[in-house]
A and B are shown apart, each in its own frame.
Chain A
Amino acid sequence: MSVDLEELARRAKEVEPAWDDLREQRVLESIRRAPPSEPEAPRRRVAWIAAAAIVVFGVSAGGWLWVTGASSSNRVAVVAPRAPSEPPEAARSEMVLADGSTVALDADARVRLALQEPERVVLEQERGRAVYTVAQVPARSFEVHTPAAIVRVRGTVFVVEVDDDATLVEVREGRVEVEARAGDGRRSLLGVGDALSVAATAETVAEPEVGDRSSASAVGGRPSESAVGGRSSASAVGDRPSESAVGGRSSESRPPPPPSADELLARADEARLASDPARAAEALDAFLRHHADDGRAASAAFTLGRVENRRGRHRVAARAFERSRALSPTGPHAEDALAQEALAWSSAGDIERATDAARRYAEAYPSGLHRSRVQRLLSGE
């Protein structure tokens, strides 16, 4: 079938951004606040390339390279901010391994690549929080060793957080097996939404705060003796499971992995275009539940707030605006989000919260774009 590309390009010329007065003013304010730009220094570029070459070589060679999340350091493999809107203090560093797996490190994280071979990759995480996105490579095992546990994966996304007393593992996609180092080396199989805290001593505790729906299957019989309340119920495993047990029985009771971030955003876009705010809200909500670490989360939360406002669900909208700001306190939506939060609380009839948000807005943005509306809230008009 032939494509009339010229006609399509002509129509593309009509695509315009959502550039309204508010956005125009916001960008202008950013320009006014921006410090003078410096001419690009060739020396810096050369230095950056050299540093990148060294660290990429270090990672691909599988050497004993410590990588920390402190983004000011050039010791990381590939330094890539998560999103342009994120504040510098929240910026992460990212390790990219030869097989395409990535490790996003929080500023306090310390991870080293201990072994990188075609059939086995081992990383050691000494402290801090890191998000692992593991490429699916058949017949290659991928392990993260912490002081308290060994986490083995196939292809998945999971978070490992290490502190002095315990290691917390939270699974976002796929499944992982966690083996406690202390005691009898019990193993737990975690699925999507599950979280498990492995104490540095012989105790294993399911983490009630994380994990929203699924539960890990008990493999090998003995249920966890220390699982605590809450929705997550990852259970400890008595005996070392065979590979077939890990791959087979456990997956039957587990819900399918959540849709990808792009898929959910596409659904939200389509629903908004179809004037279906309920479906848009559902997709955005799912995006925020499953992909809260995505660089677009603050923008999605802001959009959710707007959608919920349109649905007349002002309380939910206020929460969404609050979340948008929390996700990106200095991002492009931050100011609007705080003002919208105040207005949404007001519409929901929660005067106390509305006043509180309005007051915070007035303090943070004394000459902000919404100051007159916010001022009206404060004066009780």
Chain B
Amino acid sequence: MTSPAAQAEPDERLVARLQEGDDRALTQLYRRHARYIAGVARRLMGDELELDEVVQEAFIALRDRAHTLEEPGRVRSWLVRVTVRGATKRLEKRRRRRRLLAAQPPPRTTTDPVADHELRALFQVLEQVPPKLRVPWSLHRIEGETLPRTAELCDISLATVKRRIAKADARIRAALGREQEG
């Protein structure tokens, strides 16, 4: 559990300690941000199949690349960026694999059933949307990131991010509409 002292110590200070090699600072940062990062990864990926790995990779990156953080006070933002990259890579890998394996249906997990039928349908539809559209859409529409921030997280221009979100909007609406009619 997080101690009150750890809660009080700002991220900036913890990152500085981590940069000096203090492993306890990593634990404190992890306790503070892991749940949030797991939530972002869960919604980006649509399931929990590789959730632990994505979270793990983000914090290993923090441990190993803490010295590269230009704004230590924005460590959560930095972690989100790493998470977005990790999740995107895994989504692309899944998609490639599905194409190679003659378009098998998307994987399901036994550990994270979503009770809401409409939401379940949304995540199933998102499985069919290419990651380059899906990830910006999820960041903007679900996570509520601004368009400039979404562009920054996805390493693409603002114009591209707008175009991709609009494209994803259209595809998702059409697919959900078909599902409702079916």
Among candidates A9, A284, A296, residue contacting B142 with C-beta atoms closer than 8 Å: A9
Among candidates A3, A16, A26, residue contacting B176 with C-beta atoms closer than 8 Å: A3
Segment 11-30 of B: residues with Cβ below 8 Å from A? 23, 26-27, 30
- When the two chains form their complex, are residues A18 and B116 in contact, meaning their CB atoms are under 8 A apart? no
Q: When chains A and B are docked, how far (Å) is the Cα of A270 from the Cα of B141?
A: 27
User: Given the complex, which residues of A lie within 8 Å of B107, measured CB to CB?
Assistant: 262, 296
Among candidates A12, A18, A78, A260, residue contacting B112 with C-beta atoms closer than 8 Å: A18
Q: When chains A and B are docked, how far (Å) is the Cα of A299 from the Cα of B52?
A: 13
- When the two chains form their complex, are residues A269 and B113 in contact, meaning their CB atoms are under 8 A apart? yes
- When the two chains form their complex, are residues B180 and A1 in contact, meaning their CB atoms are under 8 A apart? yes
- When the two chains form their complex, are residues A15 and B42 in contact, meaning their CB atoms are under 8 A apart? yes
Measured CB to CB, the nearest residue on chain B to A83 is B49
Of the four ranges (under 10, 10 to 19, 20 to 34, 35 or more), the interface on chain B belongs to 35 or more
Q: When chains A and B are docked, how far (Å) is the Cα of A9 from the Cα of B140?
A: 9
Binary contact readout A270-303 vs B (1 if CB under 8 angstroms, 0 otherwise): 1011000000000010000000000010011001
The stretch among A30-38, A163-171, A357-365 that forms the contact with chain B is A30-38
- When the two chains form their complex, are residues A28 and B115 in contact, meaning their CB atoms are under 8 A apart? no
User: Given the complex, which residues of B lie within 8 Å of A284, measured CB to CB?
Assistant: 110
User: Given the complex, which residues of A lie within 8 Å of B101, measured CB to CB?
Assistant: 96, 100, 102, 133
Among candidates A8, A21, A268, residue contacting B118 with C-beta atoms closer than 8 Å: A8
Binary contact readout B20-59 vs A (1 if CB under 8 angstroms, 0 otherwise): 0001001100110011001101110000111111011001
User: Given the complex, which residues of B lie within 8 Å of A2, measured CB to CB?
Assistant: 177
| A: number of interface residues (CB 8 Å) | 50
User: Given the complex, which residues of B lie within 8 Å of A299, measured CB to CB?
Assistant: 109-111
- When the two chains form their complex, are residues A262 and B118 in contact, meaning their CB atoms are under 8 A apart? no
- When the two chains form their complex, are residues A80 and B38 in contact, meaning their CB atoms are under 8 A apart? no
Q: When chains A and B are docked, how far (Å) is the Cα of A27 from the Cα of B58?
A: 11
Secondary structure type dominating chain A contacts: helix
- When the two chains form their complex, are residues A36 and B64 in contact, meaning their CB atoms are under 8 A apart? yes
Among candidates B63, B64, B108, residue contacting A266 with C-beta atoms closer than 8 Å: B108
Among candidates B52, B102, B105, B119, residue contacting A12 with C-beta atoms closer than 8 Å: B119
Secondary structure type dominating chain B contacts: helix
Segment 236-264 of A: residues with Cβ below 8 Å from B? 260, 262
Q: Does chain A have a CB within 8 A of B74?
A: no
User: Given the complex, which residues of A lie within 8 Å of B114, measured CB to CB?
Assistant: 15
User: Given the complex, which residues of B lie within 8 Å of A1, measured CB to CB?
Assistant: 177, 180-181
- When the two chains form their complex, are residues A3 and B30 in contact, meaning their CB atoms are under 8 A apart? no
Binary contact readout A3-21 vs B (1 if CB under 8 angstroms, 0 otherwise): 1011011011101111101
In the complex, what's the smallest C-beta–C-beta distance from A122 to chain B, in angstroms?
Answer: 20
Among candidates B30, B143, B144, residue contacting A31 with C-beta atoms closer than 8 Å: B30
In the complex, what's the smallest C-beta–C-beta distance from A31 to chain B, in angstroms?
Answer: 5
- When the two chains form their complex, are residues B109 and A296 in contact, meaning their CB atoms are under 8 A apart? yes
- When the two chains form their complex, are residues B64 and A37 in contact, meaning their CB atoms are under 8 A apart? yes
Q: When chains A and B are docked, how far (Å) is the Cα of A133 from the Cα of B31?
A: 44
Chain B residues engaging chain A, CB cutoff 8 angstroms = 1, 23, 26-27, 30-31, 34-35, 38-39, 41-43, 48-53, 55-56, 59-61, 63-64, 97, 100-102, 105-116, 118-119, 122-123, 141-144, 169, 172-173, 176-177, 180-181
By Cβ-Cβ distance, the 8 closest A-B pairs, closest first, are A100-B102, A269-B113, A17-B42, A9-B141, A303-B110, A3-B176, A265-B108, A19-B38
7 other A-B residue contacts (CB within 8 Å) besides A24-B35, A299-B110:
A1-B180, A12-B142, A24-B34, A31-B56, A270-B113, A300-B110, A303-B111
